[in-house]
Chain A
Amino acid sequence: MEKVLMIDYEKCTGCRLCELVCSVMHDGVSNPARSRIKVMKWESEGVYVPVSCQQCEDAPCMNVCPVKAIARDEDTGALLVDYSLCIGCRSCVAVCPFGAMSYNIIDKKVFKCDLCGGDPQCAKFCEVHAISYVDADRVSVFKKKSAAERLTSAQKEAANLQAAM
């Protein structure tokens, strides 16, 4: 079964450990500028949203690549860049709707999430489960469950209010 990164931004504490371990795993360095995942922050409101590649089915990066350097890994389902083909034109950076294809000004290369070959470090290290690595068909089930929770608690609240009247 294909697995995906599921991001529940409400749980994110904004600590950016995911950015750290991503750069250490891939490049052997600590440097968030090299991280494939990035926590976008609204610090004056306390809102933190990790953003990473969605590994799209009909992937704009793959479609736009003029030298066909981006292809899907059969084992993990991740879209990978073949650097022996990549010409560094950054078309993929321009078309990605999530900003998940990045450009590294140090190495002058595009880079993206490769799911760490099936053991994504960001999910492994995120103790609050803002990022988790789950079977692709489970994502909507989790969302259904949390919607159901909201619904039932709203109903309970309504019943309590009615009872108090």
Chain B
Amino acid sequence: MALDRKVAYINLTTGEIEIKPIPLEIRKKFLGGRGLDAYLLYNNTRKGCNPLGPGNTLLVSGGILTATCASATARTHFMAKSPLTGLLGSANMGGFFAPEMAWAGFHHLVIKGKAEKPVYLWIHNGEIEIRDAANLWGKTTTETQWAIRDELGDEEIKSAVIGPAGENLVAFANVMTGIKNSAGRTGMGCVMGSKNLKAIAARGTMDIKIAHPIDALEYNKRFIDQITSAKVNQTQGALGTPFIWGATNSWGGIRTRNFQYNQLEEADDIEPEAIDEVCSETIGPYHMTGCFACQVHCRAQYKIPSGPYAGRYDEGPEYTSLGAFGGEPECRSMETLLTGNHLVDQFGMDNLETGSIISWAMELYELGILTSKETDGLDLRFGNDEALLEMVERICYRKGWLGDALADGGIPAAEKIGKNSFDYLIQVKGMNNLHSDERGTPALALNVATASRGSDHLRSRPAIDLYHLPEKVLRKIYSNPVPYDGPLSSEHTSYVGKAWEVFWQENCYMAVDCLGICKYHTVFLGATLPNFEDWPKVLYYNTGLEMTPREIWDIAERCNNIERLFNLREGLSRDDLKKGDTLNHRYFDEPCRRGAPDVIGLKIDRKKFQEMVDEFYEHHGWDKNGVPTPETLKRLGLDKEPSHLL
């Protein structure tokens, strides 16, 4: 049964490992995955703990449906206090790792302490061993994975690993599995590096009993048909996420030159179709691949066609790499894009943060805030492809003054650089924004401002807000499973009802993160995809657990509130530019300068934005400062947290 997968407490300081069952009452409160991780984090860290010290706790998990007969339940979740933001750290990746960990008997790992020397975890059919990783230290992400397979003599081992960036404590180092699947945001790889934990390797052949196998099979087939019939997923399956970048770029919804502009002109050479052509030429007509048991297959495969890394195989590039190595630094070369993507994959660092922080440094350089003294002679202007790629390497290996400074993340780097450099840092809660421009879309601006892990599109973005769906359709989606009869607007430039949309999406995404499902299989990019109404059956057929849509909603709300409690405990304060629910002044002061007529000239209205935040807090049952009221905590059963039930 999925419900008999265990939680393991691993103390890297003492080497002690304790394996426990996950009680049903805990499942009913938090399900699994990110939600249960949030509970475990809140209960297993002390206020103000050093993110890079032994007191930080790293959670690794699969969702409650991971590796069951449910569509696309391949996600692995990582959580800890973030070394990048000092608040909630949380990142989620696809691939094959969490299912393998589930077949090896585990859904959750609670990793504490710090190993004296480099180690890795070996999880195999109910057992966990801490092994020496001296031979792995220094290796890239793929080298590490293949070396573990060689050492243990099993080609089917799946590993979640860090690369040199994690070892060098780059604040936005990620955890990776396979070729490019990354738990990218908030520096979870940096936390692994700080614990001397190079990798977690898993291999399992233990049955996961399906409660109602024939029903589960039949329902899964229907589910898959529903998912693959959505046009957005068909396009994802053909072009991957670059199609989103291409579409939003032509509309004027991406960032260039560190948020100075909202569109990259003359981008033909790196448009999705151009990427598709390189993939077709270097791999073949069928160059898309997918995560475990997923039929969307949104990942492209390619070989770098030219340059010093010619012939190297990789996957992607995704939207974020197009932003990082295309739009933001204003580079227009396919070779730079594919090489940059390959470097961050091999180094194990977040492409989004890397691209944003370098573009920020480029703007500072052009403004004269940074000079060739700090860049060690590097001509760090926009559009300098060589400088961009050189900076990626300097950050990973902390080379030179600037490489070392940027490796600490945006806010610490701004403190080192000084002057008014912070004003140009496009971040929320210390984490850089996705390479998208939300100045024309108040709903999306509210989403990035209030996302629990810092600026982010995968916590609460109502992406369908851009589709101008009829109000009737919006109401059908947004008034289930809890009633909502307040205003809703089909207009993406409106502030009306957007707070509710963001609140609804926040619960929707938390629910899929607890279940272990990918967001392409819910109301993210497609309005017709499964949501609360559909999950109870999947849950019942696969695990036997009976729940109503409303109960799943309540769990999601509970888990979001636990994340909020953690952030408040670590210093979140509503209007704090570094730790709050607010945006860089450019959102309010500088209008969009390029793009479609319905985008040009738009910016976020400060007063209306604050009213949206008020409204958003009210929907949550939070006070004006964004603190859950005692009644809200009681309603959600969180009034006795930390409760240490597990």
Question: A46 to B69, Cβ gap below 8 A?
Answer: no
Say whether B251 faces chain A, with CB atoms less than 8 Å apart.
no
Say whether A76 faces chain B, with CB atoms less than 8 Å apart.
no
Question: A31 to B217, Cβ gap below 8 A?
Answer: no
Question: A29 to B228, Cβ gap below 8 A?
Answer: no
Mostly helix, strand, loop or mixed at chain B's interface? loop
- The listed residue (B208, B228, B283, B288) touching A30 by CB distance below 8 A is B208
B205: A residues at CB distance < 8 A: 31-33, 105-106
Q: How far is the CA of A134 from the CA of B210 in the complex (A)?
A: 30
A21: B residues at CB distance < 8 A: 69, 217, 220
**Would you give the 0/1 interface string for A96-110, flagging 1 where the beta carbon is closer than 8 Å to chain B?**
000000000110000
Q: How far is the CA of A25 from the CA of B213 in the complex (A)?
A: 7
Q: How far is the CA of A30 from the CA of B212 in the complex (A)?
A: 12
A41 nearest CB across to chain B (Å): 8
Say whether A43 faces chain B, with CB atoms less than 8 Å apart.
yes
Say whether A55 faces chain B, with CB atoms less than 8 Å apart.
no
Stretch among A57-65, A120-128, A156-164 lining the B interface: A120-128
A33: B residues at CB distance < 8 A: 103, 205
Assuming A121-B217, A124-B221, is B286 touching A11 (CB within 8 A)?
A: yes
> Which residue from chain A places its CB closest to the CB of B208 in the assembled complex?
A30
Say whether A112 faces chain B, with CB atoms less than 8 Å apart.
no
**Chain B CB within 10 Å — which of A24, A46, A48, A121 has the most?**
A46
B207: A residues at CB distance < 8 A: 27, 29-31, 34, 106
Question: A44 to B146, Cβ gap below 8 A?
Answer: yes
Restricting to A1-28, which residues have a CB under 8 Å from any CB of B?
10-17, 20-21, 24-25, 27-28
B220: A residues at CB distance < 8 A: 21, 125
A161 nearest CB across to chain B (Å): 16
Stretch among B21-29, B290-298, B411-419 lining the A interface: B290-298
Question: A17 to B293, Cβ gap below 8 A?
Answer: yes
Question: B69 to A20, Cβ gap below 8 A?
Answer: yes
Say whether A45 faces chain B, with CB atoms less than 8 Å apart.
yes
B69: A residues at CB distance < 8 A: 20-21, 24, 30
Question: B295 to A17, Cβ gap below 8 A?
Answer: yes
Question: B208 to A13, Cβ gap below 8 A?
Answer: no
> Which residue from chain B places its CB closest to the CB of A126 in the assembled complex?
B295
Question: A28 to B210, Cβ gap below 8 A?
Answer: yes
B301: A residues at CB distance < 8 A: 46
**Chain B CB within 10 Å — which of A10, A20, A33 has the most?**
A20
> Which residue from chain A places its CB closest to the CB of B96 in the assembled complex?
A16
Say whether B11 faces chain A, with CB atoms less than 8 Å apart.
no
B293: A residues at CB distance < 8 A: 15-17, 20
B274: A residues at CB distance < 8 A: none
B313: A residues at CB distance < 8 A: 44-46
Question: B206 to A14, Cβ gap below 8 A?
Answer: no
B443 nearest CB across to chain A (Å): 32
**Chain B CB within 10 Å — which of A27, A31, A34 has the most?**
A31
- The listed residue (A14, A30, A43, A44) touching B290 by CB distance below 8 A is A14
Say whether B115 faces chain A, with CB atoms less than 8 Å apart.
no
Restricting to B209-227, which residues have a CB under 8 Å from any CB of A?
209-210, 213, 216-217, 220-221, 224
Question: B228 to A127, Cβ gap below 8 A?
Answer: yes
Q: How far is the CA of A106 from the CA of B209 in the complex (A)?
A: 14
> Which residue from chain B places its CB closest to the CB of A33 in the assembled complex?
B205
B234 nearest CB across to chain A (Å): 10
Say whether B61 faces chain A, with CB atoms less than 8 Å apart.
no
B291: A residues at CB distance < 8 A: 15
Question: B289 to A29, Cβ gap below 8 A?
Answer: no
Query: What would be 22 A-B contacts, judged by CB atoms less than 8 Å apart?
Result: A10-B284, A12-B286, A14-B289, A15-B294, A20-B292, A24-B69, A28-B209, A28-B210, A30-B69, A30-B103, A30-B210, A31-B208, A34-B207, A43-B178, A44-B313, A46-B179, A46-B301, A105-B205, A125-B224, A127-B224, A127-B295, A128-B295
Chain B interface (Cβ < 8 Å from any Cβ of A)? 67-69, 96, 103, 142, 146, 178-179, 205-210, 213, 216-217, 220-221, 224, 228, 283-295, 297, 301, 313, 315
Closest 7 CB pairs of A and B: A33-B205, A29-B207, A28-B213, A13-B297, A17-B293, A46-B301, A15-B290
Seed contacts A27-B207, A30-B67, A31-B205; 5 additional CB < 8 Å A-B pairs:
A13-B286, A13-B289, A24-B217, A106-B207, A125-B295
Chain A interface (Cβ < 8 Å from any Cβ of B)? 10-17, 20-21, 24-25, 27-34, 43-46, 48, 105-106, 121, 124-125, 127-128
